[in-house]
Amino acid sequence: MKTIDEVLGRMDQIVSECQIQESRIGFFAILYRQVTRRIKQGILAKEFEDNARMEVLDILFAKRFIDAYDVWKSGGLPTSSWSVAFEASKGSSYLVLQHLFLGINAHINLDLGIAASETMKDHPLEGIKNDFDKINSVLAELVDGVKANISKVSPIFGLLIPLAKGKDEMLLNFSIQLARDGAWKYAGEYHADSDKNFQISDRDKNISNLARKLIQPGKFLGFLIKIIGFAEWKSVKDTMTQLDEVAKNTLT
């Protein structure tokens, strides 16, 4: 893939596949496709410091998700961070928000730093910091919009928040800002290290552990999640349609 339009074409294919196959990977794919559309709009409107470079970053960033998806679909093993997300998508015991955060966790906490470094190649990483933050701002805006409208796909999710007050619960405390800050720190470490494979494997180990915390809450919260899950729509296709509507209304 050499253009953002090619990325969007492949994302359309993945969304369509997930709708047909009732695959919960489609929850993340729907949101990420809208992020990519918004980045394209920003490039055309020249919103970024270096719009041509932003297209390169967007392509490299998206390609890490698309490649991981293709590897998994063909029976291979992607990074552990994506493996946890993809394997979780097979079952119906997790909430929509858990599936979304699993994708976001792998994509920001692991993929984004790598993509930023690969975009800059032999140039100082600091030069892309502002545009790096702008991508995260788009993601954060979208996630906030989904959280604000989560009742459209999870009618009683709001019950979790007061009942879990004071608990160190990854699902409720997941922060795009913290993920962004950690991703930038990792980008610097990856950029400076000649042993890229070690950097990826070491980071992947830590991020996959975070992924497991997203889907393995304590007994009490696990019980609440089961109850809340019963009220969520069981049709993956219908849920994707609702998420697509929320995403489009959030990023206009």
164-196 pLDDT, tens digit each: 555 545 565 567 778 888 999 999 999 999 999
At residue 87, the pLDDT reads 96
Check residue 220 and give its pLDDT: 66
pLDDT of residue 127: 96
Which pLDDT score is estimated for 191? 97
For position 46, what pLDDT does the model report?
Answer: 95
Predicted local distance difference test score (pLDDT) of residue 168: 46
pLDDT of residue 234: 73
Are 3 and 59 in contact by the 8 Å Cβ rule? The answer is: yes
DSSP characters over 183-215: HHHHHHHHHH-S-HHHHHHHHHHHHHHHHHHHH
Provide the pLDDT for residue 126: 96
Long-range pairs, 128-135, Cβ under 8 A, ≥24: 128/50, 128/53, 128/57, 129/184, 130/49, 131/48, 131/49, 131/50, 131/53, 131/54, 131/57, 132/57, 132/184, 132/187, 133/180, 134/42, 134/47, 134/48, 135/35, 135/39, 135/57, 135/58, 135/61
Q: What is the pLDDT of residue 180?
A: 84
Say if pTM beats, i.e. exceeds, 0.85. yes
Tens digit of pLDDT at every position of the chain (252 positions): 889 999 999 999 999 999 999 999 999 999 999 999 999 999 999 999 999 999 999 999 999 999 999 999 999 999 999 999 999 999 888 888 889 999 999 999 999 999 999 999 989 999 999 999 998 888 888 888 887 777 777 777 666 666 655 554 556 556 777 888 899 999 999 999 999 999 999 999 999 998 998 888 767 677 777 777 777 767 899 889 988 988 888 876
The secondary structure of residue 218, as a DSSP letter, is: -
